[in-house]
Amino acid sequence: MATKSVVQEVKEIALAIELIELGARLQLLEAETSLSRERLVRLYKEVRGESPPKGMLPFSTDWFMMWQPNVHASLFYNTFLFMRREARCEPVQAIAKSYRLYLEQCRIQDEPAALSLTRAWTLVRYFGSNLLQMTPCTRCRGHFVAHAHDPRHAYVCGLCQPPSRAGRTRRAALAVQAAHAVA
């Protein structure tokens, strides 16, 4: 019996370390493990070499509706659903694995990650609370994050119909300036 609890505690510590390495906030760690706050703070300091950040977690679904965050959130959440359905991962494991795959995709595309692990975890919780839904695009048939109960019949995603200023980021402007400087 005692061996089982030690094994469980070791698994929880390993999970906490994995989540901390991915950038988890303390509130996420407290919700997903049964380790004490004091132990999580010590573990965080050990792994990251600094105290955990303070402050409130993101709490608005509207952030996920903006053009770029929506594309990133949709990529992450579709991966999360695959991990739950096909790989049969536990929710927290599916979040961690999906987030790793998301980061890898961002690296491949040379695109900065728009989602932090905490935002990704919050996204999953919003779906669990029925605040968000996946809505298919009428053009590309991809499934994208949308507010729950929004009409689905004429939805067009941000990839098929990007906003007029899409892609005009500071990074893109700097790249254009650098290209002009070289020329």
Tens of pLDDT, residue by residue over 117-172, are: 999 999 999 999 999 999 999 999 999 999 999 888 899 999 999 988 766 566 65
Residue 49 has pLDDT above 60, yes or no: yes
Contacts of residue 132, Cβ cutoff 8 Å, sequence gap at least 6: 61, 64, 123, 126, 145, 146, 147, 148
Q: Are residues 39 and 70 in the same domain?
A: no
pLDDT confidence of residue 55 = 83
pLDDT confidence of residue 133 = 96
Supply 153's token pair: 């019949």
What does the alpha-carbon distance between residue 98 and residue 13 come to, in Å, rounded to a whole number? Answer: 20
| Residue 56 lies inside a defined structural domain of this protein | no
| Residue 167 lies inside a defined structural domain of this protein | yes
| Residue 183 lies inside a defined structural domain of this protein | no
pTM of the model: 0.85
Q: Are residues 93 and 161 in the same domain?
A: yes
Number of domains in the chain: 2
Angle at 58 between CA 109 and CA 55, to 5 degrees: 115
